[in-house]
Structure 1
Amino acid sequence: MNTISDVLVIGGGGSGLCAAISAATSGATVTVLEKCERIGGSTGMSVGSFTAAGTSYQYRAGVNDSTDFFIEDMKTANGADEARENQELRRVLAEHAGPTVEWLSSIGVQFLGPTPEPPYEKPRMHNVLPNSKAYITALARECRKRGVTIVTSARVEKLLRNAAGEIIGARARGVDYLGRRGVILATGDYSAAADMKRAYVGEAAAKVQAVNPNNTGDGFRLGGDVGGVMLQMDRLYEGLRFAPANLPDPIKLLPSHPAVSRAMRLVVERLPKKLLAVVLRGALTSWVGPNNTMYAAGAILVDPDGRRVANEDSDKELARGVAAGGNQAYMVFDAALARKFSAWPHPVSTFPGVAYAYVQDYKSYRPDMYHEGATLEELAAKAGIDAHGLARTVEAFRGYASAGRDPEFGRTRFGSGIGEGPYYALGPMNAYITLADGGLAVDTDLRVTEAGGTPIPGLWAAGSTGQGGLQLLNHGLHIGWAMVSGRIAGRNVAYALPREDLTPFGDTTSVLELPLDRLEVVR
């Protein structure tokens, strides 16, 4: 049994849906295969920021920006990682991000912004309204309008090739889905693939759970099986987040209907900035963990036994230390830090340029995460931390801070350390990988390439699957690349020459459990 369309898209997240719409509006028939019961992917779970230059939002705000300014700021954000950057793909992103924001606006997506995003010189961050589900609602509606067929609960087991070695489709649920003009891999990253994390990053990273448990690296395995090359597989975004709130987040509960988005945009654009910040603090304290600046100022991170778990100088080490234990930890600090992080310019957590949350906001909005005690013993009792363990840890840390040396974990920034009470704790927090920056090698047309740079006939990739060496080290760039690359890939496949031979050839057994030593990696 088989089904045939012009373009086959594997993955129903932001990049895959953009690819499907782009192909359909270029005159192609399109089928999307999504392994989950619902479409959405990581895009639908994200904060939703989209960083772009040259938008109408910037123009209305009086911001005069350009592609070259955008690229220069990305260089600054990359720092030492600039040497690893895929400069060709970065220019593709910078040139197409602004038009893609306008395209999204044309299909009903509304944004708040632009807002500042340090170290960028220009305000470029566009924050979707009312939440990231608005992307998926708008894209799904446009797919229906353009006649795109979406098949859910359809995990692809293997790509199909003809006798000439061209990619002609994929097998899912015993059905061969064929694409006359080509196939697009848009299956997200590998942040939930323990074997890939273990092989390419290490055992400690393999224990850190993913924000999106469905990002199991399927596209990497599928592409690698036919000769694709994986780049920069050592790049993970590891950090800590607060446990979910007991009460639903009102921002996330807002329906992502265009009318609601338009109304919300009208409201938020007219609200005084101080009032808007107050409105958004409830969402901010639910979604985002504390800035690492609090550790540099003197805070420590402890597990429920009251013991430090890792070097607080490093988000990565903290995440791995927490994951290696019971995956629960608390930030502990004293009265001096509580005062310091109760007013600008020292927020506990931020939506850059939009909202800032301080210590007292956690007391108001997340009382389940906020703990206070006149003594360390009282704090421990309220937070559920072992009192004796916490007391020993604080005493030892005071000695380390005084000596400027941490013999346990090698911390180098001690700030003011832990001084007089009252004492505070925020938590519990859990370790997560939010994103992985590895991707299949692609050219500027988003064709998947072999080790020597030769395109694999019939195969394209978009989003995280086709990141191709891009760094994307600041907020709003992953969403930007998902949408931009999806649109480009969809258009290019739609105009590719159709394959004359659509007969599968060779072994068609599943490759989802493909041994990693069969996949080629370039760091």
Structure 2
Amino acid sequence: MFAAVEAAELGRRVLVLEKNPKPGGTTNWAIGSLSSSASPMQAAIGIHDTPAAHFEDMALFHGGLLSRDNPELRKAFVENVPDTLRKLLDMGVVFFGPMPEPPHRAPRMHNVLPNSRAYAHALCRRARELGVDIRLNHRAHRLLTENGRVVGVEAVVDGALRRFFARRGVVLAGGDFSANPEMKRIYAGEAISRAGALVETSTGDAHQLALDVGAEIVNGDLVSGPQLRFVPPKINLMTMLPPSRFLALLMKWAMATLPQPIIRPFIMMFLTTVLEPQRKLYESGAILVNTNGTRFADECDKPQFAIPEQPRKEAYIILDSVLAKKFSSWPNYISTAPGVAYAYLPDYRRNRRDIYNVASSLGELAKKIGVPPDSLKKTVADYNQSPREGTPGLLQPPFIALGPVRSWVLTEGGLKVSPTMEVLSKSGGVIPGLYAAGATGQGGIILEGHGHHLGWAFTSGRLAGRAAAQHGAYR
């Protein structure tokens, strides 16, 4: 959507074809942080930070992946993301921070309020102000070409094919391919192909459109994950509220003013992301059981690869009252959580009742989560005969089940692009009229560290929209 806004601000007529019934895609489920140097919020607290420093620090996150990075795209990103942040602020988006995240030398992580849905809300509002034509439920089917140039898109609309022509360019911004098992198998291997996707419509359509006209995917073998994450929260009244600026400013004031015990339950109600249970939970003695009530893997030895083989591809975390007490306060948190830093067991009891179950016996707990009672009782009894080293076993009622948890990946492979987001062919030449942004146009840039994926999505969108708008008209 940022590509559309950027092009429209340059005076171009813009049409957006959105596959889903509403905009936002993966962004709506993101933690919501955006990392940038040279921000107004940094300046307000006396931090002098530069894109050059950000460029250097990003490399410190990469480790063994540094040789896989695209430094030209990293440079384009860090030099342009400050303007991206300022544009979002101008659209009314509210951030809390900046927050530190080593090895960044300065606090750069700006966290959106009230949640990540604020981005799509603000961008769509701005796009409509500029006259952008947004068509929902339009799935791109193939790119239209003339004389080697991309001139439009053929899309499926209400079961029929329709053609849409572009005078200056087509920007592909269709997310990743985490929900496409075949693409994951081809690029990342069999084990990754079985892991699930956070957004089921992230099927790599945009990648495939470009591949069909001679493009190339780079770093296709790289993925974030698989990670065990709780299933998405059910819609509640708070998450249904429009992510308004007034609400965000109220939250920002409260976070800066009120004690954490008062504000954290309120903030937790607005979480739309899916949180990840920490490894320390298993190291302390919690176990994973599948929907048959049986333990299927060593919880500390990559259980995320085993869960896709389980019934319904999900599992539950089982704790007793001793563990419940331990993971109710610092330093033993269940998950990291935006806005409140950490989520403890009481946070789940209050705000994720859909995945929190408690009972005075294992048999009762099994009934609550829909697993065979005798099986769960036997599983826990067997575990207690030889519990994890240094732990007493799961002995003390009441017993708690958190979940289900599922195994998810985000794919990092994107189309090869130039620093102005032109899609490149396998030979390295530009495919005229075609641009890509976000995960679709990741182009080899490594985005380790919080706030870089969203920062890249928005910034590359701006660059792609600008380049397409400034290109000479074909028709």
TM-score (norm 2): 0.88
Residue 189 of structure 1, CA deviation:
1.0
Deviation for aligned residue 1:271? 3.0
Cα distance change, pair 305–92 in 1 and its aligned pair in 2 (3 A): same
Q: Are 2:49 and 1:65 aligned? A: yes
Distance 1:331 1:40, change over 3 A: same
Aligned to 2:279, which of 279, 292, 312?
292
| 1:451 equivalent in alignment to 2:426 | yes
Alignment check: 8 A CA contact 1:184 1:489 kept:
yes
- Matched position secondary structure for 1:227: coil
Partner of 2:227: 239
Q: What residue is the counterpart of 1:470 in the other structure?
A: 445
Contact 1:240 1:319 in 2 (8 A): no
Residue type of the partner of 1:363?
R
Aligned: 1:421 with 2:421 = no
Find the partner of 1:338 among 324, 348, 353.
Answer: 324
> For residue 365 of structure 1, what is the amino acid of its counterpart?
N
Partner letter of residue 123 of structure 1? P
Residue of structure 1 in register with 2:40 after alignment: 56
State how far apart, in whole Å, the 1-side matches of 2:403 and 2:44 are: 42
SS in 2 for 1:356: strand
Amino acid at match of 2:151: I
Aligned mates of 2:428, 2:63 — CA distance in 1? 27
Work out whether 1:169 is the aligned partner of 2:169. no
**Structure 1 residues 367 and 104: CA distance shift in structure 2, 3 A:** closer
Residue 133 of structure 1: CA displacement? 2.4
Please give the per-residue CA displacement for 1:30-88, whole angstroms capped at 9, x wherever unaligned: 22222233322222333322222221122224444333443444333323222322222
Shift in CA distance, 314/148, structure 1 to aligned 2, threshold 3 Å: farther
Give the deviation of 1:334 after TM superposition: 4.1
Q: Secondary structure of the residue that 1:390 maps to in structure 2?
A: helix
CA distance in 2, matches of 1:415, 1:448: 54
Matched, 1:138 2:132: no
Correspondence for 2:68: 84
User: Which residues in structure 2 correspond to 1:56-455 (within 5 Å)?
Assistant: 56-117=40-101, 120-163=104-147, 165-173=148-156, 174-236=161-223, 237-245=225-233, 248-283=235-270, 287-313=274-300, 317-318=303-304, 320-322=306-308, 324-351=310-337, 354-372=340-358, 376-377=362-363, 379-380=365-366, 383-394=369-380, 396-397=382-383, 416=391, 418=393, 420-422=395-397, 424-433=399-408, 435-455=410-430
User: What is the aligned partner in structure 1 of residue 25 from structure 2?
Assistant: 41
Runs (5+) with no aligned partner, structure 2: none
SS at match of 1:444: coil
SS of aligned partner of 1:486: helix
Mark the CA change 1:64 to 1:254 in structure 2 (over 3 Å): closer, same or farther.
farther
> Once the two structures are superposed, what CA deviation does each residue of 1:260-315 show, in whole Å capped at 9, x if it has no partner?
43444344433344533343234459842322221233322111323223342356
Q: Tell me which amino acid in the other structure corresponds to 2:152.
A: G
**Counterpart secondary structure, 1:240:** strand
Native 8 Å contact 2:316 2:405 kept in 1: no
**Contact preservation (8 Å) 1:300, 1:332:** yes
Q: CA deviation at 1:367?
A: 4.0
- What is the alpha-carbon root mean square deviation over aligned residues? 2.8
Query: 1:344/1:456 Cα in 2 relative to 1: closer, same or farther (>3 Å)?
Result: same
Compared CA separation, residues 204 and 493, structure 1 to 2 (3 A)? same
CA distance in 1, matches of 2:11, 2:32: 29
What SS does structure 2 have at the residue aligned with 1:425?
strand
Q: Which stretch of the first structure deviates more once superposed, 423-432 or 436-445?
A: 423-432
- How far 1:153 sits from its partner (Å)? 2.5
Q: Is the 8 A contact 1:242 1:286 kept in 2?
A: no
Residue 344 of structure 2 aligns with an amino acid whose one-letter code is Y
Q: Per the alignment, in what secondary structure is the counterpart of residue 433 of structure 1?
A: strand
Q: Which moved more, 1:250-259 or 1:390-399?
A: 390-399
- The amino acid that maps onto 1:288 is L
CA-to-aligned-CA distance 1:64-120 (integer Å, 9 cap, x gap):
433344344433332322232222222222222222111101011111222234554
Report the CA distance shift for 1:231/1:416 in structure 2 as closer, same or farther (over 3 A).
Answer: farther
**1:145-192 deviations in Å (ceiling 9; x for gaps):** 2222222222222112112x1112222244332222221111111111
The alignment of Structure 1 onto Structure 2 pairs a total of residues equal to 470
Q: Distance in 2 between matches of 1:130 and 1:269?
A: 14
Look up the SS of the partner of 1:216 in the other structure.
coil
Cα deviation 1:464-487 (Å, max 9, x = unaligned): 100011222333222111100000
The residue number in structure 2 matching 1:32 is: 16
Q: 1:379, CA displacement in angstroms?
A: 4.6
